[in-house]
């Protein structure tokens, strides 16, 4: 049996029509676990991700990661012949991913109603800024807008400065992960009902979904969360602390037992009995004073000694890692969290490993994203749809593929 077919999602064929981040990240997760993901781009108009990020020798370094394990074809979905080609592929597909503005698929005669008549088992995963319904549905929405309107940007940064982003496109990634969950839920439900359905994921809702007790804090306690920098309101100690060698270490010791162990590491056991710090509520009230005491201690130790001592005492702690720290860390290596695959131009290409890890049927990075648009046109159109080489050439000449 084909080894890919033995992977946990090896029985699924996925058509990925989206661009940039949210839709394609969903495709990447499914492909990591063996789904046959066929990435569709318009001929002559590449997904912008091909050029995002740093470049080496003219090759974008983000694309091979985002599009790993995927096959690449081109179809002009603005033309009827292209739409008909996609419909033929839909007949044998399990999932279709798209992250266009709502109404785009309908404009191309590719609505779910149309496609589900062709394949009633089809699951359409739709990711957009504001979802497929509601007064904002037609608005354009990138991940940054979802982060803003989902509540994340308001609480990110320091209260005396403007809101800031988190450093990565977290809104897109969160929506992709929720879309993946919805997709797999729909696949399981299809096993029961035999029917497909639409998975409707909105960027702003995906961000809002992880905002903890933001809403009851406001509606029941009349409290609006604000930007608090590196601290958690009312939770201490949980901060970053400077060391003797001028690095920063994160220490999370807010639970009573853990705080007692931190006090032992500091050689200040009496702090655990001090009424100002003995309880969770007291530490929250006296956060600034407690953080000052802890940093007075951490500044006297180099980071390696500090971390070794905290580890021995069972106090959660860690350096704030850069890419260099990650690459050199033995735990990352032991867990295979940086894997290398062969790139046709760059040779060994490092990228993040697969998450999560399955004990019996793990995922795998087999190859980087297809360097050339339409690299698998012949394989897909000939082997799956039974078109001849002459037919394929005719499609090319007419700009359909």
Please report how the helices 256-266 and 287-298 are oriented relative to each other, as an axis angle in degrees rounded to 10. 40
Fill in the DSSP letter of residue 132: S
Q: Under a CB-based contact definition with an 8 Å cutoff, are residues 169 and 143 in contact?
A: yes
One of 94, 172, 200, 291 is an active-site residue; which one?
172
Residue 350 preceded by cis peptide, ω within 30: no
- Give the C-alpha separation, 205 to 202, whole Å: 5
- Give the C-alpha separation, 61 to 54, whole Å: 6
Fill in the DSSP letter of residue 345: T
Q: Under a CB-based contact definition with an 8 Å cutoff, are residues 136 and 130 in contact?
A: yes
Residue 382: partners with Cβ closer than 8 Å, 6 or more residues away = 388, 389, 392
The pair phi, psi for residue 348, each rounded to 5°, is -60, 125
Closest CA to 399 of 64, 42, 83: 42
Token output for 76: 């002009």
- Give the C-alpha separation, 292 to 270, whole Å: 16
Fill in the DSSP letter of residue 214: H
CA distances (Å), 205 to each of 109, 176, 329, in order?
27, 12, 35
Beta strand pairing status for 95-98 and 70-74?
unpaired
- Give the C-alpha separation, 263 to 294, whole Å: 9
- Residue 84 annotated in active site: no
The pair phi, psi for residue 105, each rounded to 5°, is -65, -35
- Give the C-alpha separation, 112 to 196, whole Å: 10
Token output for 280: 């969770």
The residues annotated with a catalytic role in the active site are 172
């Amino acid at each position: 049996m084909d080894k890919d077919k033995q992977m946990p999602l090896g029985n699924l064929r996925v058509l990925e029509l989206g661009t940039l981040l949210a839709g394609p990240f969903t495709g990447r997760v499914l492909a990591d676990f063996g789904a046959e993901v066929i990435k569709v781009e318009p001929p002559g108009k590449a997904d912008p991700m091909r050029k995002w990020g740093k470049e080496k020798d003219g090759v974008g370094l983000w694309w091979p990661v985002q599009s790993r394990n995927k096959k690449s074809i081109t179809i002009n979905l603005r033309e009827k012949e292209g739409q008909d080609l996609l419909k033929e592929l839909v007949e044998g597909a399990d999932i279709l991913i798209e992250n266009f503005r709502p109404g785009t698929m309908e404009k191309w005669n590719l609505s779910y109603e149309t496609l589900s008549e062709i394949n009633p088992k089809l699951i359409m995963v739709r990711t957009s800024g504001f979802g497929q319904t509601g007064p904002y549905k037609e608005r354009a929405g990138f991940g940054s807008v979802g982060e803003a309107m989902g509540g994340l940007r308001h609480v990110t940064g320091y209260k005396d400065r403007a809101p800031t982003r988190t450093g990565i496109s977290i809104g897109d990634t969160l929506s992709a992960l929720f879309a993946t969950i919805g997709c797999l839920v729909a696949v399981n439900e299809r096993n029961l009902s035999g029917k497909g359905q639409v998975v409707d994921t909105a960027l702003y809702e995906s961000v809002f979904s992880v905002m903890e007790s933001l809403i009851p804090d406001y509606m029941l306690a009349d409290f609006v969360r604000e930007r608090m920098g590196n601290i958690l309101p009312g939770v201490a100690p949980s901060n970053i602390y400077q060391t003797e060698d001028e690095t920063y270490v994160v220490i999370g010791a807010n639970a009573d037992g853990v705080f007692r162990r931190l006090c032992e590491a500091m050689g200040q056991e009496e702090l655990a009995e001090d009424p100002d710090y003995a309880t969770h509520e007291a530490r929250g009230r006296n956060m600034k004073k407690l953080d000052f005491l802890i940093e007075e201690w951490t500044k006297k130790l180099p980071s390696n000694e500090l971390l070794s001592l905290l580890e021995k005492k069972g106090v959660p702690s860690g350096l704030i890692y850069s890419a260099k720290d990650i690459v050199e860390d033995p735990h990352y290596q032991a867990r295979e969290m940086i894997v290398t695959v062969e790139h046709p131009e760059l040779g060994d290409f490092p990228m993040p490993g697969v998450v999560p890890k399955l004990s019996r049927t793990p995922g795998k990075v087999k190859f980087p994203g297809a360097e050339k648009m339409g690299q698998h046109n012949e394989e897909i159109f000939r082997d799956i749809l039974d078109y001849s080489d002459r037919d394929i050439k005719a499609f090319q000449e007419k700009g359909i593929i």
